[in-house]
Amino acid sequence: MFFTPWDAQAYWADTLQRSILFLDVMRQRANQFIEHYEAGKPPVLAFDYDVVMDGATLERPCNYMLLRIKPPADQPTDPKKRPYVVFDPRAGHGPGIGGSKEASQVGVALAAGHPVYFVSFRPHPVAGQTLRDVARAEKQFLDQVIALHPHADAKPAIVGNCQAGWAIMMLSAYAPDQASVISVAGAPLSYWAGVEGKDPLRYFGGLMGGNWSAALLADLGGGLFDGANLVTNFENLNPANTLVGKPYNLYSKVDTEAQRFLDFERWWGGYFLLTRDEIVELTSELFVGNKLAAGKIIASDGTPIDLRDIRAPIVVIASKGDNITPPAQALNWILDLYEDEDELRANEQTIVYTVHDSVGHLGIFVSAKVAVKEHAEFVNSLDLIESLPPGLFEMVVEKVEGEEDCQQFTVHFERRTLDDIRAYDDGREDEKPFRAVAHFSEVAEGLYSTFASPWIRAMSSELSGEALRWMNPKRQRYMAYAELNPMMWGVRAAAELVRANRIEAGPENPFRAAEAAVVKAVETTLQNATTQRDLAIERMFKAIWTNPFLLTLAGETASFADSRKPAASKERAYRHLKDLRLQALEAREAQGSFAQAIMRVLYAAIDETGVVDSRAFAAAREAKLAHPRIRALDHASFLRDAKEAALMVALDKDKALEQLPYLLPEKDDRREAIELLQRIVEWRPNVAPEVRAVLDRVKSILGAKGGSRFQAAPKPKAPETADRRANGEGVSRRTPLN
């Protein structure tokens, strides 16, 4: 390597100055940490807000609040647009990350003109609050949002990040009429899932013996669980980034990276607390127990939480680069609920997913690139998503061809099968040991709570718990650099002097290149060591929890696939219910209105092209504007007819079209329909041949069956369901929709 004396001199001057500037950023971070604590740790939102509803005032109080985001002066909200409600996770950190910058979930919704609300929470929980209290408060928050927007064209669209996604799925199953569209980002809805050799976080609970350790930490904390413990788990997943990558990124770019680093650290260092009941519920039901998809969670009024009860379309956002919630954990709950796509459609449930190629867990709901792509297209496609037929779809977001820095995207929805979901996992047999872990976790937690917990709580207090929290290394790493430390008193003045006389060695300096290479080597070594550590954790977990003796004690002797199958009588009942639903849907094929007939043709034409995109909804809107009988429909009725038509086409396109004469029994109705469809086709240039073929077929169907002498056949009667379900024990409590 060739270098000059000036290169060496510039590098060592630059190194000294960067070290001082790095220390100054650490000082600022520590002062910011203290200021944020003294201010009560408010949400780290980049937008002004008003408190609309305070959970502390409810009958069952909790520390949650409903905030209304104030739109910027140049971005007024449209009162007719559906409200948009963002739920941030409460998994160690505080609220606000979903709206911490303009290019965020909150920002893209404001830019689209939606009234935006944010569900926030305070650092300390109300004494004795439980997850059920929080769920009850969140339901009341949504009731309040709906009441504040009586003229909105739809009910709120709700978004849940990480653990909050799990919470809003529970909420939407319990109260299915409160949301129009649901989005969950990086939410571990099927926590046992993962690929062998990867995804080590799921094994930690088993190696700790279950959730009794969470109860112990809460008891030591005077009844409060410290969120810093959860953050420790996250950071331990990637020590190379925690110890080297993240600090060096700041050190190497300290002139430009400081503010972004401080903004993120304001949230990352804001540790929040949970009650003992909350952390035990969270670990036993979500992390260790994985009870949500299995339908084993019971609401406070005794109602079982069944995700099949959700009526609004569900959009799942995941990423292959997420080592906290990998795609299998975000998606496998679908496989737990349904055996095939027909059963999903028969339940009239719409599920959409999109999987990013590389972004990490936080990037799913923090990254500006994801915000202006996946989240922005989700917001812009709300009406289209709401009108999708029941079934499974992948949301494909593609960049518009053109300039490299172009931020314009197109979105379309491609129909998928359950095999596409299975492809994100390497099989489900590796989930079998987790069932044993869950069983023994409940036993261990019960024994601890009965025999040890009373003694621990007797020796702990609020004061000792607070002292333990401040001694936590996660907090001490901030306090060590605060100006309370006399060693830091001269750093501010030194940093100001450096900035006034900055000497920077550019990237072409050979010593800078050597520095980066050394750091990269250290980081790679740590990454390799972490990989070996994770493999050792997996081997240890399997050595313990695949032991036949433990599996037998836990009652897990069958294969995982067999254990997921219902008993023979219940399986017959499930199939019987599925048949009843399909029969009920068939009975609706010959029922409908003029608007539904038009929309059947439009959806059939789009189906011929292979994907569902904005053209389908745009064509339906054109139909609405072009004809007084459709224009008279309100938004809810329009969407209902569109969804009904899309469902009929999805179930049997040919039959849906052949039944058009029943929907248009009069000659004048048919003539009006054909004229309207012809106008829509002519309005759009470069119409695909498949679309014209569908229109020609519709003309033939309506003409061949026609004339004014046509008499509509009696509408098929929906099948009776009460008597035929007598043996349906264990079946969902819903009845088929007729």
Phi and psi, residue 360, nearest 5°: -80, 180
To which residue do tokens 């909150």 refer? Answer: 106
Kindly give the parts of the chain with pLDDT less than 50: 558-570, 704-738
SS3 letters across 27-91: HHHHHHHHHHHHCCCCCCCCCCEEEEEEHHHCCCCCCEEEEEECCCCCCCCCCCCCCEEEECCCC
Alpha helices by DSSP H, listed for 221-270, are 228-237, 239-240, 246-252, 254-268
Question: CA 532 to CA 517: how far, in whole Å?
Answer: 23
DSSP 156: P
CA gap 116, 72 in Å, rounded: 12
Which among 2, 102, 17, 4 has a CA at the least distance from the CA of 504? 17
Q: Output the CA torsion sign for 230, 291, 534, 549.
A: positive
Placement of tokens 């077929």 in the chain: 697
Residue with tokens 């003294």: 38
Concatenate the DSSP letters of all residues of 498-526 into one string: HHHT-----TT-HHHHHHHHHHHHHHHHH
Eight-class DSSP state of 451: I
pLDDT at position 615: 62
DSSP-derived 3-state class of residue 405: coil
What distances in angstroms separate CA 170 from CA 82, 131, 575, 578, one per listed residue?
21, 11, 25, 23
Cα angle 707-713-719, degrees, rounded to a multiple of 5: 155
Q: How many CB atoms lie within 10 A of CB 234?
A: 18
The owner of tokens 């029922």 is 591
d(CA 114, CA 110): 5
- Nearest-CA neighbor of 332 among 433, 230, 193? 193
Single-letter amino acid code for the residue at 257: E
Q: Which of 466, 471, 442, 444 lies closest to 220 in space, CA to CA?
A: 466
**Nearest to 698, CA basis, from 603, 633, 623, 626:** 603
SS3 state at 160: strand
Q: Could you tell me which of 44, 63, 79 has the C-alpha nearest to residue 137?
A: 63
618: enclosing H helix or E strand? helix 614-626
Residue 558, pLDDT score: 45
Helix 5-38 / helix 510-545 crossing angle, nearest 10 deg: 50
Strand partners of residue 699: none
Q: Can you say whether residue 349 is alpha, beta or left, with left for phi > 0 and alpha for psi between -120 and 50 degrees? A: beta
Are 170 and 309 in contact, with CB atoms under 8 Å apart?
no
Q: Which two tokens stand for residue 616?
A: 């389908």
Alpha-carbon torsion 95, 97, 100, 106, what sign?
negative
Contact 332, 353 (CB under 8 A): no
Amino acid, res. 335: L
Q: What is the largest CA-CA distance in the chain?
A: 101
Across-strand partners of 68? 50, 117
Which phi and psi (to 5°) does residue 603 adopt? -70, -35
Quickly tell me which residue has 């179930």 as its tokens.
651
Give residue 580's pLDDT: 63
Which residues are paired to 87 by β-bridges? 119, 160
69 closest CA partner among 30, 32, 31, 113: 113
pLDDT at position 79: 87
- Domain definitions of the chain by residue range: 49-227+271-432, 590-704
Nearest of 707, 621, 602, 618 to residue 664 by alpha carbon: 707
DSSP 735: P
CB 595 within 8 A of CB 638: yes
596 closest CA partner among 606, 586, 584, 604: 604
Q: How far is CA 310 from CA 24, 336, 381, in A?
A: 51, 15, 20
DSSP assignment of 707-729, as one string?
STT--PPPPPPPPP-TGGGTT-T
Question: Which of helix, strand or coil describes residue 303?
Answer: coil
Radius of gyration of the chain (CA): 29
Q: What was the pLDDT predicted at 347?
A: 86
CB-based contact 580:719 (threshold 8 Å): yes
Given this structure, which CATH class describes domain 49-227+271-432? alpha beta
